[in-house]
Every structure is written in C-alpha cells, then in structure tokens.
Amino acid sequence: MKKRTPRFSTLIGAALLILGAGSALAAGLPAAARTEIDGLLNRLQNSGCEFKRNGSWYGATEARAHLQKKLDYLVGKDAVHSAEQFIELGASSSSMSGQPYEVRCTGAAPVPSRDWLGRELKALRAGAAR
C-alpha cells in the first residue's frame, strides 16, 4: 500500500474546510433578518449614543464593530435567524461576563441595549410598512 504524502492530506483537509464553510453559509441568515439587523447596527452607529459593555463605555462605531463580530459568530454557528434572536443572543449581554449591555444617548439615562434595540426594531418595521 502506498503511503499518503503530506501534500495529499493537506488537500483533503482544505477541501473539507471549504465544504464545511459552504454548508455554514448555505444555512445563513435569512435576507429579511439580515436587512433588519444591518438597519439596527446602522441606527446604533449613527445614533451618537454610547454603548456599555463589561463596565466601560464605547462609542457607537466601536459598538457596531463589536456587535457585528458577535453577529458573524452566531451566524457561523447557525444560531440566529431573526433580528429578535440577534438582540437576545448577541446584543443584550456579554457572553464573557454575563453583564447586560446598555445604551446611553445624550440627555437620557442609560437603558438596557435589549430595550433600545427592540424600540429601534419596531421603528424600522413601522417605517418599512409605510
């Protein structure tokens, strides 16, 4: 029997990786959910509000980048199929510390990000219904 070369094993491994990535992308996030989540992240980024995670306040641009990474992770795990699931699983609390996220806008008291994003989602949907 002929011994397999490392090159052959590398090719097999790469092929399996590509096939696995393809199936993860195939499951993916429904287009309507992607549109709503992108809308939420845009609203957050453009809000001028601050975002609290793990005891520190961050600007809206940093908040969007952080939540985008969490979204990408959850989509890769096929764990999110709606904007509500994203808010609940990725945008409400730290997966590391368990501490809830907060949003603080100029002149207003901080609110849980779950509440802020939920209101923004309702507003997005109301605008889309017009």
Burial of 126 (0-12, 13-18, 19+ CB in 10 A): exposed
Residue 60 one-letter amino acid: A
pLDDT at 37 over 50: yes
- pLDDT, the chain, mean: 85
Residue 1 banded pLDDT, cuts 50, 70, 90: low
Alpha carbon dihedral 67, 73, 77, 81, in 10-degree steps, equals: 30
Distance, in Å, from the CA atom of 115 to the CA atom of 3, rounded to the nearest integer, reads: 60
